[in-house]
Amino acid sequence: MANTATVVYSGNLRTQATHTLSGNTIITDAPPDNNGKGEAFSPTDLVSSALCSCMITIMGIQAEKDGIDLVGLKAEVVKVMAVNPRRIAEIHIIFHHAGLKATEEQKQKLERAAHTCPVALSLSENLKQVITFNW
């Protein structure tokens, strides 16, 4: 099994993850509401953003099959935390692409693709995913 990444603790509630294949790095900080500085994505921010990025990627694959140009697709991600235990309770993602040139059927295919991305299917069913598409 190949190594996906290496993560090193830098101290002060900060980590640095290095992607094995590309060498790209991501720094995380604990958020201010959990004893951190909030100077970078928190691990839970990354989970929420990863859901959105995965959805966009899978929609991109579908769009290419259907000859749709998704360039300019934008999304807002909102993470809602719960306590006892501290965890992500909800992720809200609002997609925007006002000029999308696609039929209603193609838009539905894109939306279905988003909901079936690997990250969406990997997260707990207890984590509420609220996804809005503004085409």
- Going along the chain from its start, the domains and CATH numbers come out as 5-34 (no CATH), 43-134 (3.30.300.20)
Question: How far is residue 113's CA from residue 87's CA, in Å, rounded to a whole number?
Answer: 26
Query: What is the per-residue pLDDT across 62-111, written as a single tens digit (0 to 9) for each?
Result: 999 999 999 999 999 999 999 999 999 999 999 999 899 999 999 999 99
What does the mean pLDDT of the chain come to? 97
Of all residues in the chain, the percent with pLDDT exceeding 90 is: 98
| DSSP β-ladder status, 87-96 and 128-134 | parallel
* pLDDT value of residue 42: 97
Query: What is the per-residue pLDDT across 46-66, written as a single tens digit (0 to 9) for each?
Result: 999 999 999 999 999 999 999
* pLDDT value of residue 81: 97
